[in-house]
Amino acid sequence: MADKQMQEKYAELALRTGVNLQKGQALMINSSIEGAEFTRIVVKKAYELGAKNVLVNWADDELTLMKYQYAPEEVLTNVPQWQIDKQLDFAKDGAALLAIRSTNPDLLKDIDASKVAKATKASAEAMKEFRKYTMNDRIPWSIISIPTGDWSQKIFPGKSVEEAKEALWEQIFTIVRVDKEDPVAAWDEHNLTLRKAREFLNKRKYKKLVFKAPGTDISFELPEGHIWKGGSAKLAGTDLDFNPNMPTEEVFTMPHKYGVNGTVASTKPLIYGGNMIDNFSLTFKDGKVVDFQAEKGYDTLKHLLETDEGASRLGELALVPHESPISQSGLIFYNTLYDENASCHIALGKAYPTNLEGGSAMNEEELDKHGVNDSLTHVDFMIGSADLDIDGVTADGKSEAVFRKGTWTLDFNA
Ligand code: ZN
Ligand code: ZN
């Protein structure tokens, strides 16, 4: 068991800096029973900070696996209305949402990939209305991770369960700045750095970003009116900041859904639907994947791309310097929240409407016209490395270096 005091600091950071919980506000937590001990610490802290009600949606990996093994498909693909309503009721009440993620990256490796894909799609469809609240920053939300035995041993294979969990807690505390004297202040400073980067890019208004690395030669057109975001987000219609991801090291925007051309190679494994996709590449023409390869997890990748029309187009483009603290740990986390913040990444599927001027107020047709992708899915995968060069093309057609050898060449203070 990791230092209780550190866990309390982590819980408090997630509530203050993560969801920015307000007095009298309700809190909904998604967590797993393996993380019960930590989750209870969070719940207690939330009440101490003035939460009026805390609901925990418990998940249990072993029960999830049993359901996939034994339940008929119509059960796996049918999300009951009461489950949807429960989420929506909290969202409509302006509740904060904290996701405490700690899944086993190999949980569903022996389950038929098409069965997993159908169930994943059904759940995404059911949560469509609820997702509008998070994707448009209409409720404060945050995702954090805590160690489980399986996950920890995946990262530290030689260690016992207890040793591996302890080692992962240590990594998490460092990466999420819980080990700092005042983590909340450390996050304020970090958010300022990310704000400088995104404000600089918002002024440059690049037409296009061109990525070159071994196996990668691709150009991403950026829509007119695109907005770079990163670090803390603003709760819609208020002056309240919250941090959707902890850790976060990225600044991100959306590529034009019809303006991506070339081939991009993955640089880290992607865990999707309880399966691993590794050493894969995608070729795009006019924004759509027209060819793909994968050394591992080909079927899972195929099902992901076939989720719907928008799943084979992009919804996010994020820049992360290769010297980010997570990257420096030298570890592969097999967890997108951690791995995406160690590497430049792109996401297949839905774009955040908030990455476009006026996007949150547009209907589906208008979003499409502006190049904003829509899909049931949004799956990030990693394409950054120490070999990555990025050029930005400005409105007058000039090309300038943005990244060389995996890191910024721009001076944000200039
Ligand atoms: Zn991202
Ligand atoms: Zn993303």
Burial class (CB in 10 A: 0-12, 13-18, 19+), 151: buried
Whether cis (ω within 30° of 0) applies to the bond prior to 255 is no
Residue 341 CA: which ligand is closest?
1
Q: Name every residue whose Cβ is closer than 8 Å to that of residue 84 and which is 6 or more positions away in sequence.
A: 126, 127, 129, 130
CB count within 10 Å of CB 88 equals 15
211-216 average pLDDT score:
98
For the chain, percent of residues with pLDDT exceeding 90: 90
**Rounded alpha-carbon distances, angstroms, from residue 305 to 135, 208, 301, 377:** 21, 24, 6, 9
Q: Of 73-82, 100-109, 297-306, give the lowest mean pLDDT range.
A: 100-109
Contact (Cβ atoms closer than 8 angstroms) between residue 362 and residue 372: yes
All residues with CB under 5 Å from ion ligand 2: 316, 347, 380
**Rounded alpha-carbon distances, angstroms, from residue 181 to 115, 173, 178, 186, 356:** 47, 12, 8, 8, 37
CB count within 10 Å of CB 278 equals 15
11-17 average pLDDT score:
98
Q: What is the DSSP letter of 352?
A: P
Ligand 2 center–CA 246 separation, angstroms? 13
Residue 247 CA: which ligand is closest?
1
pLDDT at position 18 is 98
Residue 251 CA: which ligand is closest?
1
* Choice between 102 and 132, residue whose per-residue pLDDT is larger: 132
* Angle in degrees, 0-180, between the axes of helices 113-126 and 128-135, rounded to the nearest 10: 70
260-288 average pLDDT score:
95
Residue 317 CA: which ligand is closest?
1
Residue 229 CA: which ligand is closest?
1
305-320 average pLDDT score:
97
Q: d(Cα 186, Cα 109) in Å, to the nearest integer?
A: 39
Residue 336: CA count within 13 A, CB half-sphere: 19
The two structure tokens encoding residue 380: 């990030």
109-116 average pLDDT score:
90
Ligand 2 center–CA 123 separation, angstroms? 18
120-145 average pLDDT score:
94
pLDDT, tens digit (0-9, with 9 covering 90-100), for 48-61: 999 999 999 999 99
pLDDT, tens digit (0-9, with 9 covering 90-100), for 376-401: 999 999 999 999 999 999 999 999 99
Assess whether pLDDT exceeds 70 at residue 116: yes
Average pLDDT, the chain: 95
CA 141 to chain centre: 12
Return the SS3 of 235.
coil
Assess whether pLDDT exceeds 90 at residue 74: yes
Question: Which is nearest to 68 in space by CA: 128, 116, 28, 137?
Answer: 116
365-378 average pLDDT score:
95
pLDDT, tens digit (0-9, with 9 covering 90-100), for 96-111: 999 999 878 888 989 9
At 2, the pLDDT band (50, 70, 90 cuts) reads low
Q: d(Cα 145, Cα 102) in Å, to the nearest integer?
A: 6
For the chain, percent of residues with pLDDT exceeding 70: 99
Domains of the chain plus CATH, in order, are: 4-175 (3.40.1830.10), 188-408 (no CATH)
At 251, the pLDDT band (50, 70, 90 cuts) reads very high
Assess whether pLDDT exceeds 90 at residue 64: yes
Ligand 2 center–CA 102 separation, angstroms? 18
At 1, the pLDDT band (50, 70, 90 cuts) reads low
Q: d(Cα 25, Cα 94) in Å, to the nearest integer?
A: 7
pLDDT, tens digit (0-9, with 9 covering 90-100), for 149-205: 999 999 999 999 999 999 999 999 999 999 999 999 999 999 999 999 999 999 999
